[in-house]
Structure 1
Amino acid sequence: MLSDAELLLGLGRHLSAYEVSPSHAALDSLQFAGQVYELAWRLRNSQVSTGNRIEAIAIEARVGTRQLHRDVLPTMEQLGWVECRRDAENRLVSVEALIPPNEVLIADASRLLDILLVSSVQRAALELIRATSRQPLPVEAAIQAAIQWGEEAATAALGHLEAVNLVRRIEHEVDRPVVFNPNIWTNDQQAATAALRAQDARASMEVGALLEEIAVAPGIPEKHVTSTEQRWIDFAVSQGLVERSIVQTSDGSEERFLFSPHLKRDAFGTALTDPSGHVRQLVGSMIYASTFASWKLHSPGGFLYTLIRDGEAGNVSNIGTDYPMLETAGTIQVVPGGRSGTFRMVLLQSDIAESALSIIDSRGSTNRGDAGSLQNLGDQRSYSHVERERAKMASVADTDDREAARLIAALRDVASGGAFGV
């Protein structure tokens, strides 16, 4: 679900927002590994850079000059990612970037962890972030997810992640604590209830496999799921761990599509949300058109791009029958096309279409590693710590009605603990 490279980069940025504490220090090698990936990602399209330019890039990435020269660059040289040239007085003159292709860069995470002699506690922390981001878990199940590094190490790692707010523990039932990533699973009570019911039904593994399949292909048609049986899909939907979007057409056909409730939230900050469900509905409609419609849409992403760019798209008969739910939601309007019996789609909510396009573009990426998306690694360039983003929103919000409504919604989310999909 999440590669080590993604976790290291995100964890490095997350920890930079915290003052040094015992838990922060216990995870320091992971933060350093994240800084190495940070600099590598920024240099991936460079060739030869002067020493001054490298120092400027490092400072922008929150890597001090002293640490850059003593630790980061030597580690990158050991990995074969850069070649440093120095003068007779050992001053940095230039750096030649030898950053490998993305697939190799991701795979090199294990080599980097070995070079840094990362401890069992730190390796367990990576597994725990991955497990609690995938789904809420009872504490004993979370410990089992990292048991390969030892129960003591997994328990210590869980405590450190709680201290830096990457794991939240709540006790919804007596002596049955549940842990989850609060940046993804935003409703404490619902997450706890779902985790305990999954454990009681002995369905944690089945639900986890389903969530991983949905993470790879958001909006997957329900009948195309291969990771588990229908009863566990129904169970996951009933517990709020999976959301089902139904596309109905005017001619009576109906198909169901599955999404994770947090949509594209990342494990370390804020990302796309869809409280109204309209983004899911549009994604589901595009996948329906490319999969089940009699006149199949060959490029849903291309269609949405044209719709956003021109404000309208299409000139076929199916548009007149396949999208009544999008019209009801106010996302689009169907109007007569240029020929008799054809129809065009006129866009009414561009923000919904842009969010849907980002999801369509992420589906079925050929650049996925065994456990993570290369695109996610790049997307984390926009990382913003949750609390920092809330503070920024409160301080710079405009006074118009729309911005005031957003601010009130954000404050209500903090006060109530949020909700799935918010």
Structure 2
Amino acid sequence: MDRKTNGFWSIAARKHLKEFVDYSDNGDIFDRLNVAGKTGLFLGTIRGNKQLDNIKKIEKMASQVGIKPIELHKIILPQLEESSDKKIEIHRDSLGNATGIEEYVFDTQSTLEITGKVFEDLNPTDKEIITVNTLEETKKVPYTQNEITEIMVQKGFKENDINISLDIADQFKLIRKVAKKNDPIISNEYIWGSNNQRIALAVGELGKIQKDSLGITIGEIQNCQGIPYENLTIADKKLFDLAKKIGMINPIKIVTNRNVNKEFEFTQSTNWLPASEDIFDDVRLLLASIRFGENYTQHSTIYSAQKFLSAWIRNGEVGPHDANSTDYIMLEKKGIAKVVYKSKQKWGYNGYYNATGYYLELVKEDVAREALKFINGIIEENDLSIDDYNQIAKSSNYYSAEEQRVRMGDVPESSKEADEYIQRILRDENY
């Protein structure tokens, strides 16, 4: 597979494997996959900052994705520097200690490419490569173990390694084996979540030709979430209806006050939005933050997501607003935005004036553009007129298996003092 695909599944696997204790039996099998995933998550967090000279801030950003300082300095940073083809440069003092980072990673595609290169450079075992290949093969439809084994043998892997890989991947719930006579069904729980068993058993009854046909339709939806029903390639209407019944396809019907009635198709996928491999859920987080600004912010309420995003992209910042200092800390933690307190000359009804307060600076412009593209696509598709933004919210619901699993992990109870400490570091304030 290509590096971007390897990079994506490394990150996806890490987001799940972190829920298991370090001393889990067979956890060492995924050692390189785990390190590559951590590296990719960290890279996704720092991307767009260009230069970071505060090593404490870098350590805090790393801790948000589960990387401790010693691991950051001894493993992650050296590996990033080696595998990034000079897109990541580590600044060091005279003793060789890291003091800062300079990065030239401009989009998620580059993030995936570098993560995939890290995975390659770590010399993954055949079992790890088989696991990644299995996740990719099953992202559209489940296959039986015999079918997966045949695919992997054709790729040059040994049957014994394939069987061990599938057993351990199932042990860590990266994939799920659904029992069916003597040939279990291999299903991608990362994609299908709580519907996993029902989908696996239903699709397991189909022949390979039918599975491949259904896979084409699912692939079209995964590549273009919200595609109009009439634009889909549907070779077998009965298969399509089955997929809707068992939860593989989730139709959203929009009815406007002009009596326009359209059905749009969604499905679980590795890129649930029409973004390029939305690996870190950045777009989802941004949309959720905007939704918070629309419904819950006491001051400086966002009245139009479109206008807000357009202005943010156009100007590179929005403000000053008091809400910027309190309501968007998650955007700061993920490196999507940066909050800055400053004065700026602006033009008003009475001429120029100094506007002082908290500004929300945009760091990852591509994330904002993809969020705007998604909102515009829902509203403008087929000249629909949607007055209620809740209709957009309904059509963007997505809860992957990974999202539900991470809720099982316990985190230390938050405190105002701890949050303020993190906030000061993220904003380069004295602490």
TM-score range, shorter chain: 0.5 to 0.7
Aligned pair partner of 2:60 in 56, 60, 70 = 56
Q: What one-letter code is carried by the residue in structure 2 that aligns with 1:33?
A: A
Cα deviations by residue, 1:216-257 (Å, 9 ceiling, x for unpaired): 123323332248565654564566543556678999997654
Match of 2:229 among 222, 235, 257: 222
Tell which deviates more after alignment, 39-48 or 80-89.
80-89
Return the offset for 1:77.
0.8
In the TM superposition, 1:94-173 aligns within 5 A as 94-147=100-153, 148-150=155-157, 151-171=159-179, 173=180
Q: Which residue of 2 aligns with 1:24?
A: 27
CA distance in 2, matches of 1:215, 1:186: 18
Partners of 1:261 and 1:385 lie apart in 2 by: 12
Flag structure 1 segments of 5+ consecutive residues without an equivalent.
Answer: 273-298, 307-315, 320-344, 360-378, 396-422
Query: Which of residues 380, 384, 395 in structure 2 aligns to 1:356?
Result: 395
Matched, 1:181 2:188: yes
C-alpha distance 42-257 of structure 1, shift in aligned 2 (>3 A): closer
Aligned to 1:386: 404
Moved more, 243-252 or 222-231: 243-252
22, 25, 42: which is aligned to 1:39? Answer: 42
Query: Is structure 2 residue 77 aligned with structure 1 residue 73?
Result: yes
Contact 1:87 1:93 in 2 (8 A): yes
> Percent identity over the alignment?
16
* Partners of 1:152 and 1:107 in 2: CA distance: 30
> Kindly tell me: are residues 268 and 139 of structure 1, through their superposed partners in 2, closer, same or farther at Cα, counting changes over 3 Å?
farther
Alpha-carbon offset, residue 261 of structure 1: 6.9
CA RMSD in angstroms comes to 4.3
Paired amino acid for 1:181: N
Q: CA deviation at 1:4?
A: 2.9
CA shift, 1:351, in A, is 4.2
Contact 1:121 1:157 in 2 (8 A): yes
What is the match of residue 97 of structure 2? 91
Deviation (angstroms), 1:207: 1.3
**Paired position in structure 2 for 1:15:** 17
Aligned residue number for residue 204 of structure 2:
196
Alpha-carbon distance, 1:191 to partner: 1.9
Offset of 1:58 from its aligned partner? Answer: 2.0
Superposition deviation, residue 194 in structure 1: 1.6
- Give the TM-score normalised by structure 1: 0.60
- Could you tell me how far apart the structure 2 residues matched to 1:170 and 1:389 are? 23
Give the C-alpha shift of residue 259 in structure 1.
3.2
Q: Which runs of 5+ in 2 are unaligned?
A: 285-372, 414-431
Q: In 2 relative to 1, CA 386–302 (structure 1 residues): closer, same or farther, beyond 3 Å?
A: closer
What CA distance in whole angstroms lies between the structure 1 residues aligned with 2:374 and 2:60?
41
SS state at 2:66 partner? coil
- In structure 2, the CA distance between the partners of 1:4 and 1:228, relative to structure 1 (3 Å rule), is farther
What is the alpha-carbon distance in structure 2 between the residues aligned to residue 385 and residue 245 of structure 1? 21
Task: Give, in whole Å, the separation in 2 of the partners of 1:391 and 1:232.
Answer: 37
C-alpha contact (below 8 Å) 1:9/1:38 kept by paired residues: yes
Shift of the 122–48 alpha-carbon distance from structure 1 to 2, 3 Å rule, reads same
Output one character per residue of 1:110-132: Cα deviation in whole Å (capped at 9) or x when no partner: 42222111122111111222333
Alignment correspondent of 2:419: none
Structure 2 residue identity aligned to 1:32: V
Do the aligned partners of 1:167 and 1:180 also contact (CA within 8 Å) in 2? yes
Contact 1:135 1:208 in 2 (8 A): yes
Matched residue pairs, number? 308
Query: Residue 186 of structure 1 aligns to a residue in which SS?
Result: helix
**Residues in 2 aligned to 1:219 and 1:76: alpha-carbon distance in whole angstroms:** 36
From 3, 6, 9, the counterpart of 2:5: 3
Q: Cα deviation per residue 1:26-49 (whole Å; 9 max; x = unaligned)?
A: 011011001111121111122132
TM-score (normalised: structure 2): 0.59
Aligned-pair CA distance for 1:215: 0.8
Give the Cα–Cα distance (whole angstroms) in 1 for the partners of residues 70 and 374 of structure 2: 49
